[in-house]
Amino acid sequence: MSRPIQIVLFVLLFLSLVANAGLLWLYAPARAELRQARQDLARQAGELEELRALREEQARLAEQVQTLETEKERLEEENSRLLGQLEPLQNNADILEQLDQLESAARAVRRRTPAEPVERAFVSREDLRAYLEEEFARDYPQDQAAAESQLLALLGLLPPGTDLYTLLLDLYTEQVAGFYDLEAGTMYLVSGGELGPLEKITFVHEYVHAIQDQAFDLGAQVEAVEEDGDRSTALTALAEGDASLAMAQFVVDYPDVVSAADLLGQSVGIDTPRLDAAPEIVRQMLLFPYEAGTRFVMQAYLRTGWAAVDELWADPPQSTEQILHPERYPDDAPALVTLPRLEGTLGPGWRLAGEDTLGEFLLRQHLALFLDEDAADEAAAGWGGDHYLLYTHAERHVQCLVLVVRWDDRDEGDEFVELYEDYADARYGVAGEGTPRDGMWWEGATGLYLEQTGDEVWLIWAPNRDTAESIAREL
């Protein structure tokens, strides 16, 4: 069996030799071409090597480009950050320059220069709220606000139970555009850091308050009259009238800094929902120092300019009567009116909640509820001084208000009583019982008692007639 295998293998080997011999025969004439092909392959291999090197270089360069792109992005971000820091600094520099210019304009308008530089700062509306809450807690505590609310309610000027503390806190937060802190000697603008027309005139207004403080010791003057509400209102009217007049003159003298049209345009866009919804008496109390104060100061300014206004600070007005009637300043000073304490007359449970001077301004507001403007003006004219005591009974939740008004003479008192009877008849819906000389009574949830003795008129709001008459006997 091995042989056939050998034969077979031989056959295969032979066939292999024959086949290779054929390949050699075919290869012989193509050797030149093969040599050329090998040369071409070698050349191509070299080219491939060069191409490979080029691709490696390209990849290296691409990696460098990516690194440079990343660095470029980093530099652009850093540049943007630096520009972002630079812009506020530049804006702050611009604002400081504008404030310097406004100070210069205010000094030129008011014809006075403060002896010391005035600190200034911007505060947000939230910062203002926090500041006001601190000031209210210290200078206008809740019990004082509650007493004033009860007073105004008894006079018919506020709905009973009004939270005057929160009402005023909300109003100031909404309305205040700037303020001057007397204790710190610093003026603040409520702003996001921009100076529009409103911010500019507010700055001028508050800067004039700083001038008043340094020139006329405004802080000490305010402190000296803080126990007399009417006199305090008169001093506030002088301060606000002075600053408001200077502010108005600034708008006229510097139209390139603040134009009236731009100021009007900004003002129209301001929403004042809390002021719009506030009771009329609250709006009047807020506006009085600015409106009546400006008229009062203008009367002096028209005589000899700012020199006459400066003279007002040497002898400030002593009552809202003088603010309302500039011709009565300075000679018609209010009379000092005093009242005895009435706890013994009222009996157990009654507590004195407040006492002060009402003044002609608030008396006019009271009269205007049920008298027309002319009649209210006529009734209030001739006011010479007053004083009131407000008592509350914690357990019975009732109040008693005693107001004594002294008139310039008996005729002025008679005129007031005649018109006040009309007022009381309209308010209580019934005619009063009795006569002014012997005492008149109007029945109501809180009744009203009126009595006149010479140039004095007593008005007593009490829960019943017996209480009112016992107080009148004591007086």
238: pLDDT strictly greater than 90: yes
Q: Of 174 and 22, which is predicted with more confidence?
A: 174
Across the range 14-40, mean pLDDT stands at 42
Across the range 338-350, mean pLDDT stands at 95
The H-assigned helical ranges of 225-305 are: 229-253, 260-268, 273-277, 280-304
Dihedral sign, Cα of residue 66, residue 71, residue 72, residue 76 = positive
Across the range 311-324, mean pLDDT stands at 98
323: pLDDT strictly greater than 70: yes
| Tokens found for residue 355 | 């006492």
6: pLDDT strictly greater than 60: no
161: pLDDT strictly greater than 70: yes
Across the range 58-68, mean pLDDT stands at 77
Q: What percent of the chain has pLDDT over 90?
A: 74
305: pLDDT strictly greater than 80: yes
Residues 6+ apart with CB under 8 A from 448: 424, 427, 428, 432, 441, 442, 459, 460, 461
pLDDT at position 247: 96
Residue 448's closest CA among 129, 130, 154?
154
pLDDT at position 30: 39
Kindly state the helix (H) or strand (E) to which residue 45 belongs, with its residue range: helix 31-110
Domain boundaries, the chain: 2-72, 111-328, 343-474
430: pLDDT strictly greater than 50: yes
pLDDT at position 81: 57
Which of 55-64, 222-231, 385-394, 450-459 is least confident?
55-64
44-56 pLDDT, tens digit each:
667 667 767 777 7
| Tokens found for residue 116 | 């010391």
Q: Strand locations in 398-455, DSSP E?
A: 398-407, 433-435, 439-442, 447-453
pLDDT at position 444: 94
403 DSSP β-pair partners:
388, 459
Neighbouring C-alpha atoms within 13 Å toward the C-beta of 155? 22
Specify the CATH number for 343-474; select among 3.40.1000.70, 3.30.460.10, 3.90.1260.10, 2.60.40.10: 3.40.1000.70
37: pLDDT strictly greater than 70: no
pLDDT at position 49: 73
Residue 320's closest CA among 230, 194, 253?
230
353: pLDDT strictly greater than 80: yes
pLDDT at position 73: 79
Kindly state the helix (H) or strand (E) to which residue 91 belongs, with its residue range: helix 31-110
pLDDT at position 3: 32
pTM over 0.85: no
88-117 pLDDT, tens digit each:
434 578 889 999 999 999 999 999 999 999
Determine the straight-line distance between the first and last CA of the chain, rounded to whole angstroms.
Answer: 161
pLDDT at position 85: 41
pLDDT at position 42: 62
Across the range 355-384, mean pLDDT stands at 97
pLDDT at position 18: 30
Can you tell me the distance from the alpha carbon of 452 to that of 294, in angstroms, rounded to the nearest whole number?
A: 36
Q: Of 29 and 448, which is predicted with more confidence?
A: 448
Can you tell me the distance from the alpha carbon of 163 to that of 239, in angstroms, rounded to the nearest whole number?
A: 28
Mean pLDDT of the chain: 87
| Tokens found for residue 149 | 């609310």
299: pLDDT strictly greater than 90: yes
To the nearest 5 percent, what fractions of the chain are helix, strand and coil?
Answer: 65, 15, 20
Which of 11-20, 236-245, 394-403 is least confident?
11-20
